[in-house]
Amino acid sequence: MTRPPETLDRAELDPVTLAILKGRFEQIADEMDATLFRAAFNPIIAEAHDASHGLYDAVTGETLAQGKSGLPIFVGVMAFAVKAVIDRAGEPKDGDVWIFNDPYLGGTHLSDFRLVKPYFWEGKLFCYLASVGHWHDVGGNVPGNYNPVATESFQEGMLIPPVKLYDAGEYRGDIVEILSANSRLPGSLYGDLQGQIGALDLGAQRMDALLAEYGAETCAAAFRALKASAAEIMRSEIRALPDGTVSAEDFLDNDGIVDAPLRIALDMTVEGDRLVLDFSRSSPACAGPVNIARSTTVAACYVALKHVFGDVPANAGVLEPVDVVTDPASLLAVEAPKPVGGYTETILRLIDVVFQAVAQLAPERANACAYGTINALSLAGTRADGRRWVMFSFFGGGHGGHSDGDGLSHGNAPISTATIPPLEILEAAYPVRFTEWALRPGSGGDGAHRGGLGAVYEIELLEEQADLFLFGERGRFPPKGINGGGDAARNRFLHPVGGEMVEPPMTSKLHGAKLKRGERVRLETPGGGGYGDPARRPAEARKRDEEQGYV
């Protein structure tokens, strides 16, 4: 007699079948990622891969499987997002697709649009498929949506609560018209949306084939087994750490409104096989857009732990033995309408303090701090033929040294597996020319293992004029070294004012500056912190650093 899926014990799955199903689940998410990357109009998705896909639990919304190319930061937040749809949907219908970007309901910021699709097999809800991608422009005061002076979410872009894009298979064109009417680049929006729809359709087709081959009962048991395995692996990793409480803190330059630093503080406690990450001492919610929702804080903790414990699988089981504590009044647990557009800068600092805390308990496991800012730069204007253009991009820097070697030079931020958009793509798409794209000598922190180098970017405007915006960090507080390693160089941004190149008053944030044809902006990004006492760096390594121009 065939038992219902929930009664098949995971112990009854042989290891080979479980390994095959794990690979199949991940392959489905990988194919969904690849489908969107190939179809998207927006370079931030098509080239930088700022998107993610996964399979999610039909009841709790928890992450069951995620692709290897998607952003790790979305593992945690998408579980909250899918649960928001579950709570809203009531009794979902086959063919439904929900769309939203509400950053307080399992979101990150308004640029990240989520599509959630209930997947049915033989008339019964089996799981959810979900897609998230960073859209090019979703309205608001700043093209590209990184508004460094926003004081409420209404100034950051359009906020869409969970609504149906498809109702039992019927396409809601009116929803698309509303979305398009609120974007400076409706063509890009439409292309990215269709790419996400295509990714969900492909995911459903692949799930059909998988369940037809193995059956719902076996696949459901595999999901439970993989979650339990991830939880046990994480517990074993925590047990390997010494018990005790350690503390770390770091700072954001400012919130873009008030020129005062903001503290990100962590008290980390290990007790047996449980880990408590307590951020209660962090600064209160602020006026500007470096606040984040609690779901984003939880997701950032997952990413930090995944860096420390690299063998832990990417599903909800990872967080079972981990408690994340936040003060509801802090900038790490805000609700609407507090602005959250610069969430990337804050979660990078969360990752930094986790690295610093782990270094006190298990130095061999920790990385020194990476460069700590995506440097979201927007240039926007109108071409001679009247077409609007918006160049939004993020930029690389150095990663921290670690026990096994030097940090990576010119890498992307450790919140993601995204890539830095190539200059050839940016120059082909927008009226700009990169007059410099190079490593920044001396920007990595010294140490037994040197921090990676940051980069130098100089960009010249080729159109008549453009508006200029920057949302960055690490202009005043450098990326820290660990275990005696040195700090890295700070972030530096220069733009023309009255014929001179100057830094913004807020150092790392700039709103509404003007650029004329032939004028340039210059960005010098931080390196990574150093690892270990610099006196222990071998002489041959220092000689190589000098020969290759790293220092």
Residues 36 and 183 in one domain: yes
Separation CA 116–CA 326 (nearest Å): 28
Q: Which of these three, 181, 204, 231, is where a domain ends?
A: 231
Same domain, residue pair 225 and 373: no
Length in residues, the chain? 551
Q: Is residue 208 part of a domain?
A: yes
Strand ranges of the sheet holding 274-278, from the earlier edge strand across to the other edge: 244-252, 262-271, 274-278, 322-325
**Both 213 and 69 in a single domain?**
yes
Map 46-84 to HEC letters: HCCCCEEEEEEECCCCCEEEECCCCCCHHHHHHHHHHHH
Written as one letter, the residue type at 134 is H
**Closest C-alpha among 195, 194, 166, 200 to residue 95:** 166
What pLDDT, on the 0 to 100 scale, is given for residue 412? 92
Alpha carbon distance 312, 318 (integer Å) = 7
Pairing mode, strands 244-252 and 262-271: antiparallel
**Among residues 186, 205, 231, which one ends one of the domains?**
231
Return the pLDDT at 6.
Answer: 47
Write out residues in the chain with pLDDT < 50, as ranges. 1-7, 10-11
Task: For the beta carbon of residue 500, count every other beta carbon within 10 angstroms.
Answer: 8
Residue 264 in 3-state DSSP? strand
The DSSP secondary-structure symbol of 405 reads: B
Phi and psi of 522, rounded to 5°?
Answer: -130, 130
Element (H, E) at 369: none
Give the tokens for residue 473: 């960090």
CB atoms within 10 A of CB 323: 12
Task: Find out whether 422 and 80 touch, Cβ atoms under 8 Å.
Answer: no
Return d(Cα 89, Cα 148) in angstroms, integer: 35
Q: Identify the pLDDT of residue 99.
A: 98
Is residue 117 within 8 Å of 96, Cβ to Cβ? yes
| 3-state DSSP assignment of residue 218 | helix
In a domain, 248, yes or no: no
Summarize pLDDT for 34-60 with one digit per residue, the tens: 999 999 999 999 999 999 999 999 999
User: How many domains, the chain?
Assistant: 2
Beta bridge mates, 268: 246, 277
Strand pairing of 322-325 and 274-278? parallel
Say if 312 falls within a structural domain: no
- State the pLDDT at residue 436: 98
* Residues 227 and 372 placed together within one structural domain of the fold: no
| DSSP classification of residue 12 | G
With respect to residue 442, please indicate whether it lies within any of the assigned structural domains: yes
Domain with 464, as residue range(s), is 367-551
3-state helix, strand, coil in the chain (%, to 5): 30, 25, 45
Structural domain includes residue 357: no
Count of H helices and E strands in the chain? 10, 20
End of a domain among 231, 260, 292? 231
Query: Has residue 471 been placed in a domain?
Result: yes
pLDDT, residue 2, reads 34
Q: Alpha helices of 215-313 — where are they, by DSSP H?
A: 216-239, 294-308
Do 474 and 375 contact (CB within 8 A), yes or no?
A: no
- Say what the pLDDT of residue 407 is: 98
Q: Is residue 426 part of a domain?
A: yes
Give dist(CA 377, CA 473) in Å, integer.
12
CA distance 132 to 32: 11
Beta bridge partners of 116: 98, 130
